[in-house]
Amino acid sequence: MVSVAVSKMGVARLFFVEAEVKVNGKYYWDVLLSQQMLSAIRHVADDNFVFQQNSAPAHQARDTIKLLQRETPDFISPQLWPSNSLDLIPIDYKIWGIMQQRVYEMLICNVDELRQRLVDIWSGRQQSVVDAAISKWRKHHLGVSSHEERTFRTSAVACFDNGMKH
């Protein structure tokens, strides 16, 4: 699995989760958020950001919500989002789609190649693509967040290679 955080202020690096790891609430808040993602977001935005995520079970865990309420300057709770609504997160409906298309332009033989291809594509992506996805999302969902410019949106996606989940 790979996860990322994006905003109009910039993007964080890709965060990879090994295939054998179960991403439950504890792993999400203890490893992904506390040890990786929040510091990467602060590197881009200092303490001037709004944190938004989708309604994945690990995102809704009590300890995750407590951590985000305590450690972020502003947080859009998962309870404010309709469940399973992929069009509400620009990473899910636009950015991962572009990434997937670019990844599979060439044959990938193993997980290491897939990981490197994702990193290469992410490093070469244009901020204007992120900005456009966020602006399009904003037009469709006015009122969900009034802090468009400083909202970091997070998402995760499982990686697929030749029909095998990684």
pTM exceeding 0.85 = no
Distance CA 121, CA 118 (A): 5
Domain interval for residue 23: 2-160
- How many domains does one find in the chain? 1
Please indicate, yes or no, if residue 24 is contained in any of the structural domains. Answer: yes
CATH code, 114: 3.30.420.10
CB 76 within 8 Å of CB 50: yes
Please indicate, yes or no, if residue 96 is contained in any of the structural domains. Answer: yes
Residue type, position 19, single letter: A
CB 132: neighbour CB atoms within 10 A? 14
Please indicate, yes or no, if residue 102 is contained in any of the structural domains. Answer: yes
pLDDT at 154: 56
Distance CA 118, CA 100 (A): 9
Stated length of the chain: 166
pLDDT at 50: 82
pLDDT in tens, the chain (166 residues): 888 888 888 888 999 998 899 999 999 999 999 999 999 999 988 888 888 887 788 988 999 999 999 999 888 877 776 555 555 565 666 788 888 889 989 899 999 999 999 999 999 988 898 888 877 765 555 444 445 555 555 554 433 333 333 3
pLDDT at 161: 33
pLDDT at 124: 92
Please indicate, yes or no, if residue 165 is contained in any of the structural domains. Answer: no
Please indicate, yes or no, if residue 38 is contained in any of the structural domains. Answer: yes
Task: List Cα–Cα distances, 124 to 6, 16, 18, 96, 161, in angstroms.
Answer: 15, 18, 23, 14, 21
Please indicate, yes or no, if residue 43 is contained in any of the structural domains. Answer: yes
What DSSP element (H or E) covers 149? none
